[in-house]
Amino acid sequence: MQIEQGERMGNKFLEDFTSEVGGILLGAYTAEQDQAIVDWNIQRNQLKWDKQLEFNMLDEEIDEFFTAKALVDMMDAFVDTTFVLSGTVAKAKENDKIDEFKEIVTDLNLIEVMLKMYKIMTKEFNKRNRVEYKLFPEELLYEAFNIVIEANNQKLKVGKSGKVEKPEGFVKPEEKIYNAIKEFEWKMKGNNE
């Protein structure tokens, strides 16, 4: 009975967490993209759980965001954070490690941090384009997710640290994200060609 209640509380936490993060991402992140990320994790590490590794990977991506100077780097780090987070959620569920996942969320203040990242990214987009959007353009963020998923599909091997490594000749997503930004801005200014 106590295990069942704990399981329900763990599932409730995941539902609440997913809802909170989903509210940040809105329509820019789809179930198909999430499934592609889960499949990516299954193929590379069979959803093995390592709490410290998950914490470190999320912390690294968050740090990359807050040290980014350009919108393209912010978008890349934000999407990378979401990519890692999606895999972390899948691994926690698969290995019945919801309590450890809760600890990561709490220790990193993850919901508040992701919301702050989203707001900073939106503010940078607005400043760059002299607009006052309340929300980051979904279409552009959706495209960035697809670009990062495509780039990460080049990574095939798990290294000694447990992290999936970039192969020799890895093509970074930043150039494609930059081009997506430029194309979006071009269309935004009324150039629909």
pLDDT digits (tens, 9 = 90+) for 117-150: 999 999 999 999 999 999 899 999 999 999 999 9
The C-alpha angle with vertex 155 and arms to 58 and 65, in degrees rounded to 5, equals 30
CA distance readout (Å), 105 to 18, 45, 89: 12, 22, 10
CA distance 185 to 132: 14
The whole-number pLDDT of residue 190 equals 81
Mean pLDDT, the chain, rounded, equals 88
Measured over the CA atoms of residue 50, residue 56, residue 61 and residue 65, the dihedral's sign is positive
Higher pLDDT, 80 or 20: 80
Q: Please tell me the predicted confidence (pLDDT) of residue 5.
A: 41
* Alpha-carbon span 147 to 142, nearest angstrom: 9
Segments making up each domain of the chain, as ranges = 2-188
**pLDDT at residue 55 above 50?**
yes
Residue 28 predicted with pLDDT over 90: no
**pLDDT-based confidence at 2, cuts 50/70/90?**
very low
pTM: 0.88
Asked whether residue 9 carries a pLDDT value surpassing 50, the answer given is: no
Residue ranges of E strands in the chain? none
Count of helices and strands (H, E) across the chain: 8, 0
What is the structure's pLDDT at 11? Answer: 66
Would you state the pLDDT for residue 157? Answer: 87
Structure tokens at 79: 């999407």
